[in-house]
Amino acid sequence: MKRVAYITHADCLLHTCDGHPENAGRLSVLDKLIYSSGLIKKVTELEPRAATIEEIELNHDHDYVKSIMRLKPDGLRLLDADTYINRESARAAMLAYGAGLQAVELVTKGEFDRAFCAVRPPGHHALRDRSMGFCLFNNIAGAARYARAHCGLKRVAIVDFDVHHGNGTQDSFYDDATVHFTSMHQWPFYPGSGGAHERGKDDGEGYTLNIPLEAGTNGKAALARLQPVFEKAMDSFRPELILVSAGFDAHRDDPLASLQFEDEDYFEITRMICKIANKHCAGKIVSFLEGGYDLDALARSVCEHLKGLLDE
Ligand SMILES: [Zn+2]
């Protein structure tokens, strides 16, 4: 059994908005199931540290970070069409971003084989200079930058199986050959990007891979699309660490999208990623909670993902 860190913080629940799909209930329902199922005994639960401003600026513009830190509205304010902020959101976002940095540290030092960051707000839509799609800071992009800047890694791979295209992450590394990005998502769909023709530019040409899926695609068909493409790409890229944007909104019960994944599909997709990590980087994986908006389906699917991470 692999040593898996489960990194989460109660203050990630302070960022919330009743009636919004991305609310604190997502983490509390997940936490309940992880305890009641006994899965908590197989992982090591840790609290993350908050990222510093300098660390957040590894992936975001100074003025944008400052503006998020300064915003302490009474009640709720909308930053864009979908993304809200409240008095505690900056705190939650610093912890969500810090969790990824801590996870990368622990896994690259060999203290854990794998880590799952059960944090929010999610991150993969956030751009360098603005919020988007429920995301304030791009947690996974920050972790990839931190792995290169502070942990001595030269090649980091990101794989994103959230139902939405990870546009913010793609944008961060579009011209960068040191971070390989693979996203599988419903398409055409929010946020609009993620067509198969988007493959990176300049030095990064060929280091972005998009796998668009038609509405109605099930988990087995999706895995059959992802596996050969990702496997071949990793054989030539030879990652030193694999980061996962783990969104669970491709589930058939999810209210926001139209794919047909079942709980167990998340186990199979995770196993596929683990086997590739075993081949290239001693199994090292750091995974991040992104979407997933049917609370029960989300909690069950994350448990399948964790079981997959625990296996060899
Ligand atoms: Zn999503």
Percentage with pLDDT > 90 across the chain: 100
Q: What is the DSSP letter of 47?
A: P
pLDDT of residue 109: 98
Give the start-to-end residue ranges of the domains of the chain: 4-310
Query: Between the CA of residue 221 and those of 19, 213, 265, what are the distances in Å?
Result: 33, 9, 10
pLDDT of residue 40: 98
Q: Give, in words, the CATH class of 4-310.
A: alpha beta
Between the CA of 109 and the centroid of ligand 1 the distance, in Å, is 31
What is the pLDDT confidence band of residue 138, given thresholds at 50, 70 and 90? very high
Between the CA of 275 and the centroid of ligand 1 the distance, in Å, is 25
Q: pLDDT tens digits, residue range 180-222?
A: 999 999 999 999 999 999 999 999 999 999 999 999 999 999 9
Q: How far apart are the C-alpha atoms of 289 and 72, rounded to whole Å?
A: 25
Which one, of 179, 176, 166, 89, lies nearest residue 132 by Cα? 166
Q: pLDDT tens digits, residue range 60-82?
A: 999 999 999 999 999 999 999 99
What is the pLDDT confidence band of residue 83, given thresholds at 50, 70 and 90? very high
pLDDT of residue 213: 98
pLDDT of residue 246: 99
- Mean confidence (pLDDT) of the chain: 98
pTM of the model: 0.98
Query: Between the CA of residue 285 and those of 22, 129, 146, 253, 274, what are the distances in Å?
Result: 25, 27, 15, 27, 8
Between the CA of 122 and the centroid of ligand 1 the distance, in Å, is 9
Catalytic residues: 125
Between the CA of 16 and the centroid of ligand 1 the distance, in Å, is 17
What is the pLDDT confidence band of residue 142, given thresholds at 50, 70 and 90? very high
